[in-house]
Amino acid sequence: MSLKICVLASGSSGNCTVVASGRTRILIDAGLSARETEARLGAVDLELSQIDAILISHEHSDHRVSLRALHRKTGAALYANAPTLEALQRDPKLRKLHWNVFTTGQPFTLNDITVEPFSVPHDSYDPVGFVVINNGARAGIVTDLGVATGLIRQRLKDCSVLVLESNHDEEMLRDSERPWSLKQRIMGRQGHFSNKQAAELLNEIGGPHLQTVLLAHLSGDCNRPDIALKTTQDVLRDSGMSHIEVKLTYPDRSSDVVSAIPHG
């Protein structure tokens, strides 16, 4: 069985992705309510009781709001790196939970899945992206980042599926009524990826191996789905990589289910 990936929600209101192999089901982030997580899993023929582990990319509330409730309902193992855990445990409700602490940069195994956490630039304590591997199939998940580092390029270059932030259209952000300080934060090196940045990264690391890209964390007021899609598709087409299917993720419903398959 190849890896199956579905983004249950993506955006400032909540982020959660399910990855499934033949033996293992994991959630990456817990930004939906437990009830909504259960409903969206059901829509893709999965149940909360099947979740083996919950991995947290960073401590921001849109990535961990239902962590305690999901753990109570599922009994799933919880994973975070030490700085993220320290930040999470500032919430008294999370202090008594049992945690498995991973080290950023060091792979770990969950049944038949290998997880490679890697550092990303974002304004939190020690944020990470993940590459998830099963029998040679690789999927990369990076939903919050400010710039593409050499490490990010190296980790994502062999993936057949990517969940990649495409947060804002740069012109729409500049013209928005948001405070200048917030615009600077979003556009900064520890902020959020623009459509243009996402397209440029895909142009650098894409190739025959990359089959599907899910554009994530689209801003509701500084982006539009059609603009995000067109920006990426135009760059890929002009680079001779129109075979790469570009799909959207949503804040209010699940994405399509996509498969990561091994490549030679």
Q: pTM for this structure?
A: 0.96
**pLDDT exceeds 90 at position 197:** yes
Give tens-digit pLDDT for 133-189.
999 999 999 999 999 999 999 999 999 999 999 999 999 999 999 999 999 999 998
Using CB atoms within 10 Å of the CB of residue 211, give its burial: 0 to 12 exposed, 13 to 18 middle, 19+ buried: middle
pLDDT tens profile 49-67 = 999 999 999 999 999 999 9
Domain ranges of the chain: 3-260
Q: Is the model's pLDDT at 261 over the cut of 60?
A: yes
Neighbours of 182 (CB within 10 A): 12
Q: Do residues 79 and 100 touch, judged by C-beta distance below 8 A?
A: yes
pLDDT at residue 242 in the model:
94
In terms of CATH architecture, what is 3-260?
4-Layer Sandwich (3.60)
The DSSP string of 91-145 is SGGGTTS--EEEPTT--EEETTEEEEEEE---SSSS-EEEEEEETTEEEEEE---
Reply yes or no on whether the pLDDT at 95 is more than 90: no
Token pair for 47: 């149940």
